[in-house]
Amino acid sequence: MSNNVTLNQFLIQQQRNVLEASGTFTLLLNTLATACKAIAHQVKQGDLIDVLGSAGSENVQGEVQKKLDVITHDIMVHALQSSGQVAGLASEEEEEFLTIPGEYPKGKYLVLFDPLDGSSNIDINMTVGTIFSILRAPESLEPSLGDFLRKGSEQVCAGFVLYGPATMMILTTGQGVNGFTLDQEIGEFMLTHPNIRIPEATQEFAINMSNQRFWEAPIKRYVDECVLGDTGPRGKNFNMRWIASMVAEVYRILTRGGIFMYPYDIRDPSKPGRLRLMYEANPMGFIVEQAGGLCSTGRARILELQPSELHQRVPVILGSKQEVERVESYFQSQG
């Protein structure tokens, strides 16, 4: 614990360093924190309040929606639309971006979010999370699609909340990464993991091995070399992890290093990857880079990609710097 600093105290301290700060950003983070506490409550009650299982619908990605996908989307939308701090929002569960109903004031930020990442894990009681990405709204406060389709490098803040054994918020505003743990007794996120840094080297990789036959050659080469361990060119043994919940994988990498890959594969040429640029890759890329790691498609830095649509998918390779650089070098040497 770091002297019992609450998320709010931490934000106010940061706000004091920005001369022109009006306090809107601090309020927005409070809105997000409160919404995520409400989501944590739903997730932790599970079957006691009948929130598990399918909602009987599909989302814009053609995926079966869980009841909790719908409930958490509604919690986020209501909290943000009524907050007065945002001019628009976009959810992974909704095809178009949402504006602010006439009865509420508009604010100077745009928020994009995945309300419940890893929700296929919900029924088996595994860790899931909410991911968010914050951009500045246009001066007019009347956002168009183009105002959302901005490069990841333009994010002013990114974070995720992890609903695991402990509820945690991981946050960056471009000045490093800090982690907060929800104190259930007092209902506050407390600064428990200041200035998180990802170790540069690692001996742990995460990838869905069942897709192996669909991978490109550089990914096959990297994973083959890890699997060969101390009998191969790497000269050391590797460990493999696959939780199938990106929030949990990224948190593990922030904690002890590692590499996470959901690469391009040839199964469906219309899908350049599984993960979404705006709701997963960009916010996680910002966090990982701010913690000293890298986030790449294998061929390009994720945060420099110009988005073309809200639900665009991308290959994602992120984690410890030296390992991501190695994968990139395998792509380069392939030409």
Q: Using CB under 6 A, which of the segments 65-73, 243-251, 291-299, 304-312 binds ligand F6P?
A: 243-251
Question: Alpha-carbon distance 234 to 243, whole Å?
Answer: 24
Helix (H, G, I), strand (E, B) or coil at 196: coil
Residue 257 lies near ligand F6P (rule: CB under 6 A):
no
Per the CB < 8 A criterion, the answer to whether 2 and 192 are in contact is yes
**For tokens 């790449």, what's the residue?**
296
Residue 28 lies near ligand F6P (rule: CB under 6 A):
no
Give buried/exposed letters for 72-95 (b at 16+ CB in 10 A, else e).
bbebbbebbbebebbbbbbbbbbe
Cβ proximity to ligand F6P, 115 vs 118, nearer residue: 118
Cβ-based burial of 50 (10 A; exposed 0-12, middle 13-18, buried ≥19): exposed
Residue 245 lies near ligand F6P (rule: CB under 6 A):
yes
Residue 244 lies near ligand F6P (rule: CB under 6 A):
yes
Residue 328 lies near ligand F6P (rule: CB under 6 A):
no
Residue 118 lies near ligand F6P (rule: CB under 6 A):
yes
Going residue by residue from 263 to 302, which x/- string records binding to ligand F6P, judged by CB under 6 A? -----------xx---------------------------
Residue 219 lies near ligand F6P (rule: CB under 6 A):
no
**309 Cβ contact partners less than 8 Å away, ≥ 6 residues apart:** 149
Beta-strand relationship, 259-262 and 313-314: unpaired
Considering CB under 6 A, how many residues would be counted as binding ligand F6P? 10
Going residue by residue from 63 to 102, which x/- string records binding to ligand F6P, judged by CB under 6 A? ----------------------------------------
The contact set with ligand F6P (CB under 6 A) reads 117-118, 120, 208, 244-246, 262, 274-275
